[in-house]
Amino acid sequence: MKFSVLGTTEVTHHNHHLELGGIRQRAILGYLILNANKVVATSQILNAMWNGNPPPTARKMVQNAVSGIRRILTTNTDPTTTPHLRTHPPGYQLRIDTETIDLYQFRRLVREGRHATTNNNHTHAAHTLHQALNLWRGRALADLVETGTNWSELAAIEDERLSALEDRLDAELHCGKHREITPELEILTTTEPLRERLCHQFMLALYRSGRQVDALRVYRRTREALIDNLGLEPGRHLQELQQRILEHDAKIQTPVLIG
């Protein structure tokens, strides 16, 4: 059995998609998957489902949803490998092999990619981080987000994705692939204009592609966005890159690959 939350919520068994029921049941299942192997208090579930304002029948609705989830997990599955949704005071615990969840596979691959970066194996880092990012099929729990779900956990997971993407782009830059990633960075810096690391990468890719004027234009655009939205000047690293581009500093030229 496989669980997918990096996109719409899906559970598959032998490549067959299981019917997950109504939106409330799907939401509770999704929330338990995000908190796999942790005891989740009923009060925490109520707060997540109803944003701190549960109706009088909310606890009964949670109990009914948990019963429905248990039926899904135990129907036509091997009881020796089926995840267990246990009642565990003060709430519930989804006991599950995290390697069956795409979010946890993503995190494992990101750790592997970052370890490769630490060891200066940028080719392996780029490949592994690319594998991690390919697990995403859309926004995390996209079907729930479309109905108004706005958990803090989802914002944190989206930030994990963006950080992994930035790590992959850094690895690509180390591999001399600045021209290949420039179009991607152009799109990313348009959708995420306040992420200075992405803007730093875009400026560097443009400069290494012989587009100094465009790189400096990106700096000005980023500075304006930061001042207008946050009232802040660009950070030290972005300011230093601007100065190095102006000076044609040899330290920011395309790295020489060995082997």
- Of 166, 192, 208, which closes a domain? 166
Are 21 and 122 members of one domain?
A: yes
Going 134 to 136 to 137 to 138, the CA torsion angle's sign is negative
Report residue 152 as tokens. Answer: 């803090």
Check if the beta carbon of residue 158 is closer than 8 Å to that of residue 140. yes
Identify the H or E element spanning 239.
helix 236-247
Condensed to tens digits (0 to 9), the pLDDT of residues 234-243 reads 999 999 999 9
Q: Give 135: exposed, middle or buried? Use CB within 10 Å, 0-12, 13-18, 19+.
A: middle
116 and 191: one domain?
no
Q: Are residues 30 and 129 in the same domain?
A: yes
**Domain shared by 111 and 231, yes or no:** no
Domain end among 141, 166, 191: 166
pLDDT in tens, 42-92: 999 999 999 889 999 999 999 999 999 999 988 755 655 678 999 999 999
Q: Are residues 5 and 45 in the same domain?
A: yes
Q: Is residue 8 part of a domain?
A: yes
Q: Are residues 155 and 182 in the same domain?
A: no
Domain count, the chain: 2
Same-domain pairing of 145 and 43: yes
Cβ burial, residue 102 (10 Å; 0-12/13-18/19+): buried
Residue range(s) defining the domain that contains residue 15: 1-166
Check whether residue 37 and residue 111 sit in a common domain: yes
Q: Is residue 87 domain-resident?
A: yes
Which is it for the CA torsion 135, 139, 141, 142, positive or negative? negative
What is the domain-level CATH number for residue 192? 1.25.40.10
What CATH number does the domain containing 127 carry? 1.10.10.10
Same domain, 184 and 251: yes
Side chain identity at residue 110, one-letter code: V
Does residue 171 lie in a domain region? no
Residue type, 224: E
14-45 pLDDT, tens digit per residue, is 889 999 999 999 999 999 999 999 999 999 99
Encoded amino acid at 60, one letter: K
The pLDDT mean for the chain works out to 94
The verdict on 29 and 150 lying in the same domain is yes
End-of-domain residue from the set 166, 189, 211? 166
Element (H, E) at 31: helix 23-34
Assigned domain for 90 exists:
yes
- What pLDDT sits at residue 111? 98
Rg (CA), the chain: 23
- Does residue 198 sit in the same domain as residue 153? no
Which residue do the tokens 């009914």 mark?
64
Whether residue 24 is found in the same domain as residue 116: yes
